[in-house]
């Protein structure tokens, strides 16, 4: 099932971040009365009536010049109409209609996307009259809402779910392995894709951010068709000053969400940086198969243990995410690049591997008996009595216990370590849940 993208647009200080926080049930977006406080673009998820949607808050970078600001708003809305499946256009009911609102509305009227004009800050029924001035925009769906207290949002979401196509572009399941090539700008993603495919499918330059789109290609590997996705580089968000680059990030995240295995390219000279860790964290959160590939290895002066030392350095920085397979490559010389495909195929098998329930209980209950979970605060013994594996697309392990709420995170990591010790799952994030028996 495809997951639609809902984009929130509008000028600063109209309540976009408040709406984002309420829809995603988070407090990720900073809310303040000052104009332009949101200097980050945020990606989140919301669920309504069993339907999952991805939400993007476009608060973002605000240029100092008012003229540049208006240009940025127009550019932002223009790209939103291309990338979004639905648009929430937020305005300030208390401050009334502004020329920028009118300009945005004019652009949105031309968009062939479900679009809602939301007159925000109508916090009580007595504020319904705030919407009257906004009917001059000529938009089909104008609603008074309160992002602060959720007023009228339920009706909005009911209508939104009915209008969105949750099976868009997926008439039938594509069972081909789908590999996304991810990483910071200028680490060699396009060079790697071209080397694997054997021809220049994408433009390659030494200018960071050259690739603005995600481009799907079919790689035929020993008779098997594999979908290879070369994605736009993920920049640090503070450096994303062009709206078009922001939406390249959206496309990159979309590629990550839909792939089976993510090859995360690192620069051999720069090593693992904070932005790399953010990409890895997102891939872990999405439970994708993950491969770490250090590119430009041909530029490194090597000694006997150089590769091993680099691997230890990177995995130590990743802390508990120390189960990722690692290799060094050179997209330029094609050194070990096809090893990545073999690794991806193996990870794909690992993601779908099922351990019989009887085997799980025979092996893991013995380990648990040796190192049992800590007792409850009242001193009651916590007993894990049964284990089973569920989940279709990635491994999920259910542990049934008498007092599951008292099992700490540290013991959860112990159980994951035991599963990996006995059954592998290299490069595959897993979910461990506790239920009351």
pLDDT, tens digit, 9 for 90 and up, residues 366-424 = 999 999 999 999 989 999 999 999 988 899 999 999 999 999 999 999 999 999 999 99
What is the number of other CB atoms lying within 10 angstroms of the CB of residue 32? Answer: 10
Q: Could you please report the per-residue DSSP string of 200-269?
A: --S---SSTT---S-EEEEEEETTEEEEEEE------GGG--SHHHHHHHHHHHHHHHH-SEEEEEEETT
For the chain, give the longest Cα–Cα distance: 76
Tokens 């209609």 -> residue: 97
Q: What is the CATH number of domain 178-351?
A: 3.40.50.300
Per residue in 6-16, pLDDT tens?
Answer: 988 888 888 88
User: Please, which residues have CB within 8 angstroms of residue 242's CB and are 6 or more apart in sequence?
Assistant: none
pLDDT given for residue 392 in this prediction: 82
- What does pLDDT average to in each consecutive run of 10 residues of the chain (437 residues)? 80 86 71 39 78 77 51 64 85 89 84 89 83 88 91 93 72 79 85 80 47 65 84 51 56 79 92 86 92 92 85 89 93 93 95 95 95 92 94 91 92 95 95 90
pLDDT given for residue 167 in this prediction: 63
Q: What is the CATH number of domain 5-163?
A: 3.40.50.300
Angle, vertex CA 361, rays to CA 357 and CA 362, nearest 5: 115
pLDDT given for residue 32 in this prediction: 41
pLDDT given for residue 203 in this prediction: 43
pLDDT given for residue 34 in this prediction: 38
Cα-atom radius of gyration of the chain, to the nearest Å?
25
* Domain 357-436 class in CATH: alpha beta
Residues of the chain with CATH 3.40.50.300: 5-163, 178-351
pTM of the predicted structure, to 2 decimals: 0.66
Residues of the chain with CATH 3.30.300.20: 357-436
pLDDT given for residue 30 in this prediction: 41
pLDDT given for residue 125 in this prediction: 82
């Amino acid at each position: 099932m495809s997951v639609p993208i809902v984009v929130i647009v509008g000028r600063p200080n109209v309540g976009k971040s408040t709406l984002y926080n309420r829809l995603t049930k988070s407090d990720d977006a900073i809310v303040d009365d000052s104009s332009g406080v949101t200097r980050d673009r945020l990606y989140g998820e919301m669920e309504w009536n069993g339907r999952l949607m991805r939400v993007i808050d476009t608060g973002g970078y605000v240029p100092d010049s008012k003229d540049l600001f208006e240009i940025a708003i127009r550019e932002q809305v223009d790209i939103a109409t291309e990338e979004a499946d639905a648009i929430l256009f937020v305005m300030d009911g208390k401050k009334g209609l502004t020329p920028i609102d009118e300009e945005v509305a004019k652009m949105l009227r031309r968009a062939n996307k479900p679009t809602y004009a939301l007159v925000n800050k109508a916090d009580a029924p007595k504020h319904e009259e705030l919407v009257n001035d906004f009917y001059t925009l000529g938009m089909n769906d104008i609603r008074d809402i309160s992002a602060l207290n959720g007023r009228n949002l339920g009706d909005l979401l009911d209508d939104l779910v009915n209008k969105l196509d949750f099976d868009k572009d997926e008439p039938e399941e594509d069972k081909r392995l789908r590999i996304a090539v991810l990483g910071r700008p200028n680490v060699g993603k396009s060079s790697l894709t071209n080397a694997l495919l054997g021809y220049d499918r994408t433009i390659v330059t030494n200018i960071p951010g050259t690739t603005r789109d995600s481009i799907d290609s079919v790689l035929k590997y020993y008779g098997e068709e594999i979908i290879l996705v070369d994605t736009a580089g993920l920049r640090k968000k503070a450096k994303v000053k062009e709206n078009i680059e922001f939406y390249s990030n959206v496309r990159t995240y979309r590629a990550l969400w839909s792939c089976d295995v993510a090859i995360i390219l690192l620069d051999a000279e720069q090593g693992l940086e904070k932005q790399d860790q953010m990409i890895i964290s997102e891939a872990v959160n999405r439970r994708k198969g993950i491969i770490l590939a250090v590119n430009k290895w041909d530029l490194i002066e090597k000694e006997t243990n150089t590769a091993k030392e680099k691997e230890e350095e990177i995995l130590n920085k990743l802390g508990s995410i120390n189960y990722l397979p690692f290799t060094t490559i050179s997209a330029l010389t094609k050194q070990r690049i096809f090893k990545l495909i073999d690794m991806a195929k193996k990870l794909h098998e690992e993601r779908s591997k099922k351990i019989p329930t009887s085997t799980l209980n025979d092996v893991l209950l013995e380990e648990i008996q040796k190192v049992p979970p800590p007792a409850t605060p009242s001193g009651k013994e916590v007993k894990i009595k049964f284990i089973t594996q569920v989940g279709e697309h990635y491994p999920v392990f259910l542990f049934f216990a008498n007092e599951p709420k008292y099992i700490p995170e540290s013991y959860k990591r112990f159980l994951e370590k035991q599963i990996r010790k006995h059954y592998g799952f290299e490069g595959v994030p897993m979910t461990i849940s506790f239920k009351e028996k």
